[in-house]
Amino acid sequence: MAMIGGGKDAFIGAVHRIALNMDGQIEMVAGSLSATASVAIESGKTLFLDENRIYTDYKLMLEKEAAMPADKRIDFVSIVTPNFVHFDPAMMALDKGFNVVLEKPITFTLQEAKALKAKLDATGLSLLLCHTYTGYPMVKQAKQLIKNGTLGKIRKVYVEYPQGWLSTFLEGTGQTQASWRTDPAKSGKAGCMGDIGTHAFNMAEYITGLQVTKICSSLNIVVEGRKLDDDGAAFLQFNNGATGVLMATQIAAGEENNVKIRVYGEKGGLEWKQEDANSLIVKWLDKPAEIYRTGGGYNSSFASHNTRIPAGHPEGYLEAFGNLYRNFALTISAKMNGEKPKEEWLDFPGIEEGIRGMAFVDNVVESGQSEVKWKEFTV
Amino acid sequence: MAMIGGGKDAFIGAVHRIALNMDGQIEMVAGSLSATASVAIESGKTLFLDENRIYTDYKLMLEKEAAMPADKRIDFVSIVTPNFVHFDPAMMALDKGFNVVLEKPITFTLQEAKALKAKLDATGLSLLLCHTYTGYPMVKQAKQLIKNGTLGKIRKVYVEYPQGWLSTFLEGTGQTQASWRTDPAKSGKAGCMGDIGTHAFNMAEYITGLQVTKICSSLNIVVEGRKLDDDGAAFLQFNNGATGVLMATQIAAGEENNVKIRVYGEKGGLEWKQEDANSLIVKWLDKPAEIYRTGGGYNSSFASHNTRIPAGHPEGYLEAFGNLYRNFALTISAKMNGEKPKEEWLDFPGIEEGIRGMAFVDNVVESGQSEVKWKEFTV
Amino acid sequence: MAMIGGGKDAFIGAVHRIALNMDGQIEMVAGSLSATASVAIESGKTLFLDENRIYTDYKLMLEKEAAMPADKRIDFVSIVTPNFVHFDPAMMALDKGFNVVLEKPITFTLQEAKALKAKLDATGLSLLLCHTYTGYPMVKQAKQLIKNGTLGKIRKVYVEYPQGWLSTFLEGTGQTQASWRTDPAKSGKAGCMGDIGTHAFNMAEYITGLQVTKICSSLNIVVEGRKLDDDGAAFLQFNNGATGVLMATQIAAGEENNVKIRVYGEKGGLEWKQEDANSLIVKWLDKPAEIYRTGGGYNSSFASHNTRIPAGHPEGYLEAFGNLYRNFALTISAKMNGEKPKEEWLDFPGIEEGIRGMAFVDNVVESGQSEVKWKEFTV
Amino acid sequence: MAMIGGGKDAFIGAVHRIALNMDGQIEMVAGSLSATASVAIESGKTLFLDENRIYTDYKLMLEKEAAMPADKRIDFVSIVTPNFVHFDPAMMALDKGFNVVLEKPITFTLQEAKALKAKLDATGLSLLLCHTYTGYPMVKQAKQLIKNGTLGKIRKVYVEYPQGWLSTFLEGTGQTQASWRTDPAKSGKAGCMGDIGTHAFNMAEYITGLQVTKICSSLNIVVEGRKLDDDGAAFLQFNNGATGVLMATQIAAGEENNVKIRVYGEKGGLEWKQEDANSLIVKWLDKPAEIYRTGGGYNSSFASHNTRIPAGHPEGYLEAFGNLYRNFALTISAKMNGEKPKEEWLDFPGIEEGIRGMAFVDNVVESGQSEVKWKEFTV
């Protein structure tokens, strides 16, 4: 595979490389790692790329790789650039026949996301969208418990993503991450809601199997001088009648990344949080709560397929990320071999989740600006 | 003191008695413990009351006690009846010169609460409103940390009270607690929001020292056949510009009573939850989080005054409740002796909190019915 | 009832009074609250005792109370003096026909404990020994789960009681608690092991229903100048072949009173700790761990009988202590009425536990001084 | 690098490969992955090894690799075979000039470990011993806090490693891991103490910087039919006068791998456990406890050097393992380039820890069989 973006000093590119290296089944052989040529070259060398496959322009890379013989050229490309540089390389990659990995939010606009879907439908290629938290074994277990009806009909969802790293005007210091993520020209319509609200939204829909149909949001710019929302919350209505509350903030001073979800059905509820990622608490109306654990022999095939080591040895964020890559690789490998991917492999976020996420950005921003309480969730 | 309501089979009356007995400074000497005469009498006997002071009618009790010599008669009366029987006995008690303890919500309507305030102002008597959670030492510590500016200007408040006990149509079985609490004629305009939403609201205002100025709520009746809200959430705006989210539900199957609050300022945040009531987590932008503990020598006088035993021996809900009674008793005793109560003693919820709570019920219900997003929080 | 010791400035006397007041079924009517007459009198007044029943000499009190008519005199006496003043008042109280409550360790020597047992057997009176931790509902639940065979045959016990309050030479400052507890003339053969090791030992035998048969201990005096052990550990062998480790220390700087026990059987294990006193974790070989909670409808009658408020409202140390008093009072009341006490009422620690505890002190000290590894646990 | 052992169905080999792949700086190019030729070949192919570098005999591999040109041949070899096949390949690898990675316990006997040390001294080559838990950032932080005197002089150490996986006679089912680990001919003198007791022992010495000087142990075979200890505990004395308790068991039904250490000094204590691996609790005599977190900006360079992602995204066991490999690779790379490795890189376990671990096995077993309490810890 090849990477677009993610040169030295970039944050998420290095994370992707750990994730894709993890299981020894994916090899990064090419890269266009920065828009700055010198950085692209130096980064490629540091990563031991063949010098012929270190590119300073992603378009050139996609051209050249496409021209290689099938057994040499890359199978997919990971695009880890800021949001406003997602769509063009993704479309071109698909045009050249490459599968695509994209960071969330999938594109800059909902329209772009829909265009990507059309292209994917036309080409039959695959896309992985990095909603990393869905890669945790206990998140998958939660989804399966609900899917199997264990909790009964779902009634209530609380999902939250509190961060504190933007409690100060960090973009004023020139810090790279803060700068582009708070810039409407690079990040899109939403700040906090695009960056982490989309994760919370995705978690809610992924775990429950439900879809949001109405939304009422309130977004804030808390830190003076900031251009995009750095805090907000939304009431949600789901297509089965359940309701929910979504909270995302980047100004909760002292908070790290403890994304957390609670779902309640008629018979019981469940709770998962990243801080204790290997535990899934399941609560019941009339019997003791249970603690499902990563690696437990009682887990579903979806959880155990995504577990690497014996219970009690914590698996973390990088393993969750690795699970996304592994399932994506298993799927495209099966497809290339004309085999049917297993259901467990196909359980990774893709274009549908990307479109829902972009719709969330649109809807949450529009509702935030409206004086009317409820807004239909439109896609 | 004397009690109105709280006969056998009542829930909260027994809790009050444990709380007031706790420190050996308050003696229950009279009672009108039930509207049913036989229950009132039997309950009084079980509690070793003097047979002459077991009453079957609270009006008669207040008359007779008022007629006793000053050193014999009661100092205050605890009214632990359902919401719709709060106002009349409270007014009469004040008229007769007795201080009053009331369960929340303070009255059936906001108007009644205001009338109580007028009477209190006129008589100079005291009123304790049982927002029990404010009696926990670590809740008091949280308030003091914020008051002292430790966290900087407050920006965000999350407060929640999840319960699961009304996940089924429990009132259909005739269960006493469920029956009156879900009945608009006995409980008032709101169900969940009146019963536990008021606690959450009070926690938010108590700990931050702020006041809500705008509200946007969404209330639900989740269980079929129920007459009042059993679930809801609200966005809040505070008078310093901070915002908040309040969540209260009685249909979160498997949840007990884990009321929890998180507050974030410019410099750090804090977190308290009833499940771990003796810990207060304080988080910082740039140093390790701290765990304040009940009994720690570093705590404020407000926390230590309300602590009975050495750190590590958990103090629970009944001790928090006992703190309310103890501070109320210390205050009225000081007032009766012409002394100035200490600031720590005066730190119990009273009529102002009662009015705010009734206003919360009115506002949260009205906002819930409105299609407009924000409503001014009116009192 | 009456109290011996526990005047103002004493620690545990106040705790006893909260515990016995808790349920409104026990009334303290007399007291010999200090060996210093002025303190005894002042303390009695503060507690609203009838001036005729404030005594400055416990012998006089026992004489006078014994001479009162049956319906006026006390039913039992609580002895809350330092260890070396346990035996004499207890024997005299029994001689005078009063039931007795004693703090642990029950006496100064094992011989005294045996003499107390002989007296109890002869008189048919009852004794409560304040191993408070056995009063927690979840500790009782743990005992019942094991008794019912839920965990299979017990194999391993870990029990620990870490404190940090004697990390410095506190007795050198004249601090009351530290002074007598570290003084062999007042505390007995053991310091840490007598004060909290006995609690740990009692927990292990109470919860498992097993008895220690062999011991190998290592005791330390860590703080310079101290006269008794302030730290130690012991290997244990039980009468069913199980083994265990007991740890107790008073020099674990920063620790409060987080007594904790873990027990493992063939099928699963359980874990309880005072820091999270209302949870009992039960772990299984092949299914998710479970969290039993105080107030859960699934608990045994032994747990629910000792629970006062709905699940999720934490019950703490004082309630556990109150449970000891309540069960003791229910038992002696039943006996006085010629009724058979319920099994749940009788579940409080008494003379047998007292003798085992004193034997523990003897054995753990003797083993600690021995160069031979294992010592028979003799009684 | 190359791997010896770790073919398909082996457990720890796969873990090593994830760990060494993690940072993209180490490439596995050769392997002698099984003593069974067909397995060795098939495993090598699965791992995409060059067919010329898939070996069926580790001796042949070491010969051939040594004969390659310097820029082609391997730098080090990872030996992930059962204990009894550690020494021979390690010695041969060193003889051929290759650095060595070994699983713990380092060898079958203490003598072998000493022989390895002599060889390492003679060759100047490096050895990594996989005490994985020392790779966690918060374990490194704990070591640095103690090294810097933050806690004052160390007085007490509690270290424990509870597992439950050998609660049944698993070796009787032919399960691979259980079979060799409980077989004296393959595992060595000790079972539980060799397998996980060595980890606990290493943690205690690593974090405190102290050395054990005396030991008193009690080992048990709990499960009928088992040949080696599956449970045990030891009292420890350290070279600064501190004492400790070490507990390790494989029959704590329901336990996973929650290795945990607590260390107390004159001023405070600390606690780390694998279950919450990204937190380090530091407790103080006179101020609130603190929670150090992986990724916190306040951490030492030793912690931050071993951290890959922002705080709150949990790093797990595989990252800890990856840290061992990364530091080892950085060190041997520096040495090969004639540079001085940084102090942070050199902070990985090696031959000294290996010798201490084998001495622990010898001493804990000998003490366990002795009727005398204390044994000098001999090396």
In the three-class reduction of DSSP (H, G, I as helix; E, B as strand; rest coil), residue D123 is classed as helix
Question: Which of B175-184, B231-240, D152-161 has the least mean pLDDT?
Answer: B175-184
- Answer whether A293 sits within 8 Å of C297, measured CB to CB: no
Q: What whole-number distance in Å separates Cα of residue A219 and Cα of residue D361?
A: 61
Rounded CA-CA distance D66/D75 in Å is 10
Q: CA-CA distance, B377 to D315, in Å (whole number)?
A: 45
Residue spans of alpha helices (H) in A209-316 = 301-304
pLDDT-derived band at D9 (thresholds 50, 70, 90) equals: confident
User: Which residue is closest to B259 within chain C, CA to CA?
Assistant: C312
What is the structure's pLDDT at C229? Answer: 98
Q: Could you give the CA distance from residue D29 to residue D47 in angstroms, rounded to a whole number?
A: 9
State the pLDDT at residue A8: 81
Given a cut of 90, whether residue D162 has pLDDT beyond it is yes
The confidence score (pLDDT) of residue B176 equals 86
As a whole number, mean pLDDT of residues C298-319 equals: 97
User: In this structure, what token pair is assigned to residue A6?
Assistant: 């993610």
> How far is B258 from chain C, CA to nearest CA, in Å?
6
Residue B339 pLDDT > 90, yes or no?
Answer: yes
From the candidates A313, A323, A326, which should be mutated to test the interface with D, based on the most D CB atoms within 10 A?
Answer: A313
The residue of chain B with its CA nearest to that of A281 is B254
Structure tokens at A92: 């071109």
Q: Average the pLDDT over D104-129 and give the result.
A: 97
Cα–Cα distance between D93 and D80 in angstroms, integer? Answer: 13
Distance CA B6, CA C313 (A): 19
What CA–CA distance (Å, rounded) separates B222 from B213?
28
d(CA C250, CA C233): 12
Tell me the pLDDT of chain A averaged across its residues: 96
pLDDT at A300 over 80: yes
Q: Is a pLDDT exceeding 80 seen at residue C10?
A: no
Q: Which amino acid type is present at position C231? A: D
Please determine, for residue B11, whether its predicted confidence score (pLDDT) is greater than 90.
no
Task: Give the three-state DSSP class for B30.
Answer: strand
Q: Average the pLDDT over A241-252 and give the result.
A: 98
Cα C335 from Cα C216, distance rounded (Å): 41
Segment D25-51 mean pLDDT: 93
| pLDDT at residue D50 is higher than 90 | yes
Band (C128; pLDDT cuts 50, 70, 90): very high
Write the DSSP symbol of residue D29.
-
pLDDT tens, D266-277?
Answer: 999 999 999 999
| Cis check: omega of the bond before B105, within 30 degrees of 0 | yes
pLDDT band at D24 (very low <50, low <70, confident <90, very high): confident
Distance CA B205, CA B377 (A): 13
pLDDT value at position A12?
87
Beta strands (DSSP E) in C87-188 are 99-102, 127-129, 154-162
pLDDT of residue C176: 86
| Distance in angstroms (rounded) separating the CA atoms of residues B235 and A237 | 16
> Is residue D226 less than 8 Å (CB to CB) from chain C?
no
Residue C297, C-beta contacts closer than 8 angstroms, at least 6 positions apart:
A286
Q: How far is C293 from chain D (nearest CA, A)?
A: 19
Q: Are B256 and C312 in contact (CB under 8 A)?
A: yes
Tokens standing for residue D213: 């000087």
pLDDT in the model for residue B136:
98
Of the pLDDT bands very low, low, confident and very high (cuts 50, 70, 90), residue C12 is: confident
Which C positions 293-322 lie with beta carbon below 8 A of chain A? 293, 296-298
List, for residues A67-100, the tens digit of each pLDDT value: 999 889 999 999 999 889 999 999 999 999 999 9
Say how far apart CA A45 and CA B280 lie, in whole Å: 49
Q: What is the pLDDT of residues A15-68, one digit of tens each?
A: 999 999 998 889 999 999 998 999 999 999 989 899 999 999 999 999 999 999
The pLDDT assigned to A11 comes to: 79
Rounded CA-CA distance D44/B45 in Å is 85
Region C159-176: mean pLDDT is: 96
Tokens, residue C46:
């503060």
pLDDT in tens, B258-276: 999 999 999 999 999 999 9
Residue A347: both structure tokens together: 């359980």
Beta bridge partners of D273: D260
Question: Mean of the pLDDT values across residues A214-225?
Answer: 98
User: Which spans in chain C are helix H?
Assistant: 12-21, 37-46, 58-67, 87-95, 110-123, 137-147, 176-181, 184-187, 192, 198-208, 301-304, 317-336, 351-369
> Does D286 sit within 8 Å of B297, measured CB to CB?
yes
Say if residues C82 and C6 touch (Cβ distance below 8 Å). Answer: no
Q: What is the mean pLDDT of residues D195-222?
A: 98
Task: Tell me the CB-side half-sphere exposure of residue C169, using CA atoms within 13 A.
Answer: 6
Question: What per-residue confidence (pLDDT) applies to A75?
Answer: 95
Confidence of residue D12 (pLDDT cuts 50, 70, 90): confident
For range D298-323, the mean pLDDT: 97
Amino acid occupying residue A198:
T
pLDDT at C11 over 90: no
| Closest by Cα among A34, A80, A39, A77 to A57 | A34
Decide: D258 and A278 in contact? Cβ < 8 Å.
Answer: no
Q: Calculate mean pLDDT across residues B281-308.
A: 97
* Cβ of residue A23 closer than 8 Å to a chain D Cβ: yes
In sequence order, what are the beta bridge partners of B262?
A: B158, B271
Q: Are A126 and A335 in contact (CB under 8 A)?
A: yes
Q: What separation in angstroms does the CA of D267 have from each of A190, A280, C102?
A: 48, 37, 35
Question: Largest Cα–Cα distance of chain B, in whole Å?
Answer: 65
Please name the residue of chain D whose CA is at the shortest distance from the CA of residue B294: D288
The answer to whether the beta carbons of residues C54 and C69 sit under 8 Å apart is no
Instruction: Verify cis geometry, omega within 30 degrees of 0, for the bond prior to D105.
Output: yes
Mean pLDDT, residues C197-213 taken together:
98
Residues D37 and D56 sit within 8 Å (Cβ to Cβ) = yes
Provide the whole-model pTM: 0.97
The phi-psi region of residue B181 (left if phi > 0; otherwise alpha if psi is between -120 and 50; otherwise beta) is: alpha
Averaged pLDDT, B110-134: 98
Structure token pair of residue B101: 């303890």
Residue type, D192: C
Question: How many other CB atoms are there within 10 angstroms of residue C309's CB atom?
Answer: 21
Contact criterion met (CB below 8 Å) for D89 and D77: yes
Q: Residue A310: pLDDT above 90?
A: yes
Identify the band that residue D10 occupies on the pLDDT scale cut at 50, 70 and 90.
confident
Q: Report which DSSP code applies to D193.
A: I
CA dist., res. D311 & res. D138, Å (int): 12
Is the pLDDT confidence value at D129 over 90?
A: yes
Comparing CB atoms, the residue among D291, D293, D297 nearest residue B291 is D291
As a three-state string, the secondary structure of A82-145 is CHHHCHHHHHHHHHCCCEEEECCCCCCCHHHHHHHHHHHHHHCCCEEECCHHHHCHHHHHHHHH
Cα dihedral across residues B294, B296, B301, B305: positive or negative: positive
Grouping H, G, I as helix, E, B as strand and the rest as coil, residue B368 is helix
**Does residue B36 sit in helix, strand or coil?**
coil
pLDDT tens digit string along A96-113?
999 999 999 999 999 999
Cβ pair D266:C253 closer than 8 A:
yes
**Do the beta carbons of residue D159 and residue D200 sit within 8 Å?**
yes
Measured between CA atoms, how close is B24 to chain C, in angstroms? 7
* Residue D204 token pair: 């205690």
* 8 Å CB contact between A270 and A281: yes
Query: Which helix (H) or strand (E) element contains residue A221?
Result: none
Tokens of B284: 């910082």
With CA atoms as reference, report the closest residue to A379 among A215, A217, A221: A215
**In which band, very low, low, confident or very high, does the pLDDT at A162 lie, cut at 50, 70 and 90?**
very high
Q: Stretch C242-270: mean pLDDT, rounded?
A: 98
Q: How far is B267 from chain A (nearest CA, A)?
A: 6
